[in-house]
Structure 1
Amino acid sequence: MLSALARRAIPHATSAVRRHNVTIRCFSDNLDHLKISEVQESRVQERYVQMRKEHFGRREEFPASRCAAIVNDVVGIMGDADGSFRSQGDIDIDADTANRKRVIYRSKQRGWLEVDLLMGRWASENVWTLTADELQQYEDILNRETIDIFNFISGKDAIPEEVNTPVMKRIQDFCFSNPLGKASIQGFLDNKKHMSN
């Protein structure tokens, strides 16, 4: 009775049918007008590819004001070799420095605490000394899904051939050495300095 009333009250929208406390909604209108054309689909796909390329690509130019902020903690806080401090406006940055900072940030901001702590600490301690080839190997690892990274570095899953590199072995060795200690409040506080927040 109710479904008949609902169909009369809303003739071309939706109707609800109750069966065993489950509501099933059926659309009576044809939804073909919501489809996109092949040209639109092609444009969307091209834009998607372009956005991924820009996201994973390396920047070569940087605004001057942002450059100084990026390396402030590397040079500005530690000071120059003679003990003096340069202002942020005096610091030049190159693409390699910016990329290494980006990689460290990505390592600390995976979104899963265990991976943030392990990868973030490893990156903070090692990224500045990696060669260009090792840095690329590390970025290939970072481009994986967070759960996969955790399973690889913890030894739960076999490592795929494309990321089974010396850098992956170094990260695994680091993780197996219990770098964060055993579960304790003091251990967390000691490692908090390696976190981004």
Structure 2
Amino acid sequence: MSDELAIRRRRLLFRAEHRGFKEADLVIGGFARAHLPEMNATALAEFEALLEIPDQDLYAWIVGREMPPEEVDGPVFRALSSSAHAVTAK
């Protein structure tokens, strides 16, 4: 099981760092580098679902430009959004 999670984490990290535009790559990729190692299977599934969302929508929700839909606003999304706000506040 741990080998499967390690492979899954590597794939998710690659996807998070290669979103399609630089701002998303930095915010989502940075979050992934910092938090993927500690995520359990449930959190990985939530993060994976977030990566399925089109870049422009996800980024707008993360930085607070638009309100996320209720089904997206879970623990991983809130951590990602908080992380993005901490980075942009510096």
Aligned alpha-carbon RMSD (Å): 1.6
Structure number with bigger Rg: 1
- Structure 2 stretches of 5 or more lacking a match? none
Q: Within 2, Cα distance between the matches of 1:119 and 1:142? A: 9
**Structure holding more strand per residue:** 1
Query: What letter corresponds to residue 169 of structure 1 in structure 2?
Result: R
The aligned residue for residue 44 of structure 1 is: none
TM-score if structure 2 supplies the norm length? 0.91
Structure 1, residues 17-38: CA drift from partner, whole Å, max 9, x if none? xxxxxxxxxxxxxxxxxxxxxx
The aligned residue for residue 128 of structure 1 is: 37
TM-score if structure 1 supplies the norm length? 0.43
Is structure 2 residue 22 aligned with structure 1 residue 113?
A: yes
**Structure holding more helix per residue:** 2
State the identity %. Answer: 27
The aligned residue for residue 140 of structure 1 is: 49
Is structure 2 residue 68 aligned with structure 1 residue 167?
A: no
Provide the aligned length of Structure 1 versus Structure 2.
89
How does 1:51-66 map onto structure 2 within 5 Å?
Answer: none
Larger RCO: 1 or 2 (CA < 8 Å, sep 6+): 2
Structure 1, residues 146-168: CA drift from partner, whole Å, max 9, x if none? 00111010111111122110111
Query: What letter corresponds to residue 135 of structure 1 in structure 2?
Result: L
Structure 1, residues 52-101: CA drift from partner, whole Å, max 9, x if none? xxxxxxxxxxxxxxxxxxxxxxxxxxxxxxxxxxxxxxxxx822111100
Query: What letter corresponds to residue 112 of structure 1 in structure 2?
Result: F
Q: Within 1, Cα distance between the matches of 2:41 and 2:3? A: 14
